[in-house]
Structure 1
Amino acid sequence: MKKLTKTNVFKEYVSKPETPMDKTTRVVRQMVDEETVQRDAKNSRLRNARLEREANTPPETKASAAPKPRRTKAASTR
């Protein structure tokens, strides 16, 4: 039987260095995440402003409009 030592029981995990492609991917994902947060904040701000404006605006009353006459279909040339 093989003698158990610290070096052969627990293998050391060596992480490989970050490649340029990995670095680019990490940076791009970070940028996209930041843009998403900014977009969500802007959307919620605009949504709240719209809802507040709609709540403060009195509803418009529609005057009964006369119905438009219907157009007749063009004759078929079969």
Structure 2
Amino acid sequence: MALHDYLPAEAFAAATWQKATASQPNQSCVEFTKVGRVIGVRDSKLGAHSAILQFTENEIAAMLSGAKGGEFDHLT
């Protein structure tokens, strides 16, 4: 993603955010949304006040593949 591909925070204002159902007991997790071809990630505890990290579809796919493959299991 080139620098000019990043969206302003306002682009995410009307987005529908989604988090893992496993986070429901404590309501704390990361949330994801997609605006155009950009995937936003934020801290659910902070909601609309959270910084929004922006990734391409390929970047998220690589991260999910690694997570499913156990590459990050040492972090928990």
Q: What interval of TM-score do these two structures reach, taking the shorter chain for normalisation? A: under 0.3
Q: TM-score, normalised by structure 2?
A: 0.24
Whichever structure has more strand as a proportion of its residues is 2
Q: TM-score, normalised by structure 1?
A: 0.23
Whichever structure has more helix as a proportion of its residues is 1
